[in-house]
Amino acid sequence: MRVGLVCAHAGPPHERRGHFAGTHQHVARVAAELTGRGHDVRVYERLDDPAAPPVSEIGGYRVERVPVGPPRATGTGELVPYVPELGRWLTERWAGEWTPEVVHGHFWIGGLAAASAVRDTVIPVVQTFHSLGVEQLRHLGEAYRGPGQRIPLERALTRAVDMAVAQCTDEVDELTRMGLQRASVVVVPAGVDTELFAPEGEAATRDRRPRILAAGGLEPGHGQEDLIRALRLVGDVELVIAGGPPAEHLNNHAEARRLREVAESSGVADQIKLVGSVPHDQMSAWYRSADVVACTPRYASAGRVPLEAMACGVPVVGYSMGGIVDTVVDEVTGRLVPPGDVRGLGVTLRRLLAADAERFAYGHAAVDRVRCSYTWDRTAGALERLYERVVLRRLPAPS
């Protein structure tokens, strides 16, 4: 099958792709897995560097960089006026010798460009939003920084796609509230690289204190302040926060300064360690160094961090929301706490850190759960079946 994956945003340079997690890492892995299954896959992203090649062959699939928009890195809001031009470029490209049988848009900008490109054809469109503006706005409030056009354009996009791929059950509910029929939404969670993320391997250095690890972004809404405040109930432990800018730039980072102020006012400043950005291909060592991985964001459409931690055999304590509640089985692979319950978070962490046998059992169950249900092979297989279904639905009926 010929599959076009449209991301629209520019991706990281090929030689640094393994250092990044997020939408592009997800798209790259999906492309590689589908290629391995015998499909002809092409990925489309925006060209933001004039020195970058317009076409690359990566892992058996083809990456084409669309020369639309300013030749530099841009924010999402700046790309909105270029969506029609992106769509026209794709339409012309697909009118030649290679035409996709199915198009899969990623993030809302990629989905808008993909839907625009095939609107006068019978080519079906599958869409993965990765996150939804309306849900982020609800959970983050004033901390939400998305462009104003995002929410109405995402609603419009739901009316232009054949099928939406949700990454968790909460996202299914949100998409149906936005107007999609339930039969047009399917849950396909992201996979985990179980060779990179595994219990065996090196671990980051640590001191004698129990270690709690929080990984992800370093900006309002990621919930690290809840963890810091909860430490007063946990005891003498170390909280490592991985994410944000490189370590040498943390002193000038507003959120890093705010978290240190929260730690100071809570009397736990000597228990906090901010390590800055960690390349994705080095995160497994940090997971293995932790006794518990904590996931306490205000909003989580996908459960990437808990799944990677579980794949390394580390129990997870997280808020019961979004992708976290789908991936972490309470009292089997970790513990779930109501969102925002700082006292419950602290008590749960203290009890779990004091229960060696319980953590050991959770860790073993976590590895089994990931390897049985969350491999990239399973993700690719689910997408393959979905593509076949939407293509058959769009084929003209026999006379």
**What confidence score (pLDDT) does residue 12 get?**
59
At residue 148, the pLDDT reads 86
- In the sheet where 292-295 sits, what is the strand order? 272-276, 238-242, 211-215, 292-295, 316-319, 334-337
3-state class (DSSP) for residue 247? helix
Q: Give the DSSP letter of residue 269.
A: G
CA atoms of 290 and 292, how far apart (whole Å)? 5
pLDDT attached to residue 156: 95
Quick one: which of 295, 286, 302 has its CA closest to 226? Answer: 295
pLDDT for res 17 = 45
Determine the pLDDT at residue 16.
Answer: 44
Query: What is the reported pLDDT for 206?
Result: 94
The structure's pTM equals 0.91
Least Cα distance to 277 among 256, 307, 303 occurs for 256
pLDDT of 20:
47
- Residue ranges of the chain whose pLDDT lies below 70: 11-22, 396-399
Calculate helix-pair angle for 150-158, 133-140, nearest 10 degrees: 140
Instruction: State whether residue 261 is helix, strand or coil.
Output: helix
Residue 363: per-residue pLDDT: 98
Q: Which CATH class is domain 211-373?
A: alpha beta
User: In 3D, which of 170, 178, 83 has the Cα closest to residue 134?
Assistant: 178
All CATH 3.40.50.2000 domain ranges of the chain, comma separated, are 2-191+376-394, 211-373
Query: How would DSSP label each residue in 174-224?
Result: HHHHTT--GGGEEE----B-TTTS-SSS------SS-EEEEES--STTS-H
Q: Do residues 18 and 281 make contact, with C-beta atoms less than 8 angstroms apart? A: yes
pLDDT computed for residue 298 by the predictor: 86
Residue 14: what pLDDT? 46
Which helix (DSSP H) or strand (DSSP E) does residue 163 occupy?
Answer: strand 163-166
**Domain 2-191+376-394 falls in which CATH fold?**
Rossmann fold (3.40.50)
DSSP state of 252: G
Residue 217 has what pLDDT? 82
Residue 22, pLDDT score: 67
Report pLDDT for 337.
Answer: 97
